[in-house]
Structure 1
Amino acid sequence: MKFGKPVRFLAAVFALGLITSGCSATKGQSKSIDPPPEEADVMLQKALDALSEEDLVKDGEAGGTNSLQCTVYFKDSNGFVVPVSLPMADESKPAQKALEAMVEDGPAKSMLPKGFTALLPKGTVVNSLNIDKNKLATVDFSSEFTQYNGQDERKMLEALTWTLTSFPTVEKVKILVDGQVLPEMPELGTPLNEPLSRMMGINIEFAPGVDPGRTTPVVLYFKGSTKENFNYYVPVTRLISRTEDVAQATVEELVKGPDIASGLMTALTSDIKIIEVSKSADNSLVSVDFGRAFLDADQKASPEAIQEVVLSLIETIHSEKIQLSVNGNTTIQASGNQSISQPVTKPTHINPYKA
């Protein structure tokens, strides 16, 4: 395989869920039960749809504790900015708590996978965080925010922006330092005259031979792994030659795989045929029909391959659901004896980790 041998992710990583909401309520491990007659994916989606983001599940029987899972972005050992879903105490101001978790030697230090580091400078204090009705988050940091290594400047901004915009109430981010607008970053001069958004990209790379002045960004999720076998998804914004069919291009770039020099991996093989990629009129659903090579020798789909497709398309196209099929057949058997016949949504938690 051109981009390295794929590795198997933990089966538990693959789960159907709601569109990511920054933080959501979880509970301790529950007992397994026999599956009901209705298809598991339909039942799971109904249950998730009925659960409010603010609901906390009381955990009495399983012996766990109530907590919030928050998606926070850190730097891995290879320098990529990566989302990690961490358990946090059930408190108010979850977005501010997520920012505080991003501070070097802060409250999340002992909770991170080995090799992962926080990107906000040591001692940084979140003086305040306000989110207005236009979904603009204005965050006021202490002066320590400006005391960072210049090599991490863009990574800091990516991590900060993508962490806050994981919350459904935030689309843009404005940065203050001790109450004063920061016009640009002090080390490399990244301009901050306009609020930051996910339009800035994350872990940016250029496709081979692309004209930098004529590009279209696609966000691709590949796989990374630590020496301790924590496996995780890494978002990469790849700038490709300008195209109008962004959904088709996203899937094509996924099949091409990660840059061989990146050290990332993929569960998709280069011989997979893309038969058709289409969108609904309201852009809420993207349908992807693959050839037989999307399945393994046992005629089952890799949960990791499904996740890569779902995460990439939802992030790039901003659709709500992805319908997958193989040669027109929408009933796909996935490893672990799961039947995937309904459209799939983005998981609630990306890269969940428990120290």
Structure 2
Amino acid sequence: MIRRSFFVLASVIVLLSFTLLSACGDKDSEPDTIKYVKDRQALKEASKNATYIQRTLYLSDANGLLIPQVTGLPESGAPESQVLNYLVKGGPVTELLPNGFQTVLPAETEVVNVDMDKRGNLTVDFSREFLETRPEDQERAVQSVVWTLTEFNTVKSVSISVDGKVLDEWPDTRRSIGRGLTRQDGINTTFGDVSDVAASGSLTVFYLTTYKNKTYEVPVTVRAITGNDRVSDLVSALVDEPADSPFISTFNPDTRLIDKPMIKDGVVSLHFNDAVYEDKAAKTISERALRCLVRTLTSQKGINKVEIKAGDSDKVMLESGKTLTGPVSESMVSASGL
């Protein structure tokens, strides 16, 4: 969500109001040391004509997990380059980061060029400072770039180059990077309880995680034994979080699908057993569970909305008292939605 009052005075360069997409916990307090300009009236006048666009940046939390954060950025003719600049340490976003969060690209890294081909592959050419990424941050840096850029519908895949040469691997560690990277390559990857990795598949779902009593949603790519129905596999992964991990499922452990999921006209229909209720007496479902479910499934190709039925009831009520009257989209479960 974008607040256009107080923080519009916080920086000449950018108006930012960070909020965790999940809205699962209280908002992190903003930094105490924000630099203010003296000419407040001039800044107010300039802001009247400014247009801000919501963008999602994938930033690292204190536990090293990449978390999607929504921020308002000034409208730009080169939005892909713009969001990448906001991933650089010491960049324009630094003083307004939520507590415990940080950007992932080395300081002074520059976006030299971005080039989109006809297939939707975006090649990003960074300056050599990009190669200064610490070995322990290399995978995280690539994932942050890929997931931030693929928030744009036009970007289907991402390749990374330095000084005009495609970077297939990190020169210091020889760790592979690859070309044409997509979200299918994963984020915050964990192998969980799977012993036979070769026989398992990758599933990206949303769990909860905590930091200093703050709870928020995190996308996680888990390895799991998969079947013939991907939606059912995703629901199973949502219910059963990896053991001995910092991730928390939003569903009761006995939650199961009664019927096979059906997809029609971009809407997936799910029929759960009564265990999906957070409060079985009141027959209400957790907003957190709904958000994680919808955000997980709408990331799949061909799914735009999620329709839910629980037990023998045709109506689904949330803990807040609201009743779902139809299919739910991702925009409906944002902080400003349900």
TM-score computed with the length of structure 2 as normaliser: 0.79
State whether residues 193 and 242 of structure 2, in contact with CA within 8 Å, keep that contact through their aligned partners in structure 1. Answer: no
Residues in 1 aligned to 2:296 and 2:217: alpha-carbon distance in whole angstroms:
10
Between the two structures, name the one with larger relative contact order (CA 8 Å, sep ≥ 6). 1
Query: Aligned pair 1:309/2:293, yes or no?
Result: yes
Which residue of the partner structure matches residue 110 of structure 1?
A: 95
One-letter code aligned to 1:216: G
State whether residues 232 and 351 of structure 1, in contact with CA within 8 Å, keep that contact through their aligned partners in structure 2. Answer: no
Query: Aligned pair 1:95/2:80, yes or no?
Result: yes
Deviation digits for residues 275-313 of structure 1 (CA, Å, limit 9, x no counterpart): 12413266x222111122322143221111101111122
CA RMSD between the two structures: 2.7
1:149: how far off? 0.7
TM alignment of 1:185-334, pairs within 5 A: 185-227=170-212, 229=214, 231-256=215-240, 258-280=241-263, 284-295=266-277, 296=279, 297-316=281-300, 318-334=302-318
State whether residues 216 and 243 of structure 1, in contact with CA within 8 Å, keep that contact through their aligned partners in structure 2. Answer: no
Quickly say closer, same or farther: Cα 1:11–1:65, change in 2 above 3 A. farther
1:316: how far off? 4.3
One-letter code aligned to 2:66: V
1:130: how far off? 2.0
Residues in 2 aligned to 1:64 and 1:303: alpha-carbon distance in whole angstroms:
37
Query: Aligned pair 1:9/2:24, yes or no?
Result: yes
Residues in 2 aligned to 1:64 and 1:334: alpha-carbon distance in whole angstroms:
40
**Secondary structure of 1:275's partner?**
coil
Query: Aligned pair 1:170/2:149, yes or no?
Result: no
One-letter code aligned to 1:191: S
Quickly say closer, same or farther: Cα 1:241–1:332, change in 2 above 3 A. same
TM-score computed with the length of structure 1 as normaliser: 0.75
Deviation digits for residues 139-164 of structure 1 (CA, Å, limit 9, x no counterpart): 11111000011011111111111111
Which residue of the partner structure matches residue 53 of structure 2?
A: 68
Residues in 2 aligned to 1:288 and 1:348: alpha-carbon distance in whole angstroms:
17
State whether residues 25 and 216 of structure 2, in contact with CA within 8 Å, keep that contact through their aligned partners in structure 1. Answer: no
1:319: how far off? 1.4
State whether residues 24 and 217 of structure 2, in contact with CA within 8 Å, keep that contact through their aligned partners in structure 1. Answer: no
1:189: how far off? 2.0
One-letter code aligned to 1:314: T
Residues in 2 aligned to 1:162 and 1:317: alpha-carbon distance in whole angstroms:
16
Unaligned runs of 5+ in 2: 1-21, 28-47
Identity of aligned residues (%): 27
Deviates more, 1:258-267 or 1:140-149: 258-267
Quickly say closer, same or farther: Cα 1:146–1:288, change in 2 above 3 A. same
1:240: how far off? 0.9
Quickly say closer, same or farther: Cα 1:11–1:77, change in 2 above 3 A. closer
Which residue of the partner structure matches residue 152 of structure 1?
A: 137
Residues in 1 aligned to 2:119 and 2:75: alpha-carbon distance in whole angstroms:
26
State whether residues 131 and 169 of structure 1, in contact with CA within 8 Å, keep that contact through their aligned partners in structure 2. Answer: no
| Count of residue correspondences | 294
1:120: how far off? 0.7
Residues in 2 aligned to 1:286 and 1:315: alpha-carbon distance in whole angstroms:
12
1:331: how far off? 2.3
**Secondary structure of 2:139's partner?**
helix
Residues in 2 aligned to 1:138 and 1:87: alpha-carbon distance in whole angstroms:
24
Query: Aligned pair 1:136/2:121, yes or no?
Result: yes
1:350: how far off? 6.3
1:330: how far off? 4.0
Residues in 1 aligned to 2:68 and 2:318: alpha-carbon distance in whole angstroms:
25
Residues in 2 aligned to 1:159 and 1:288: alpha-carbon distance in whole angstroms:
31
Residues in 1 aligned to 2:23 and 2:96: alpha-carbon distance in whole angstroms:
24
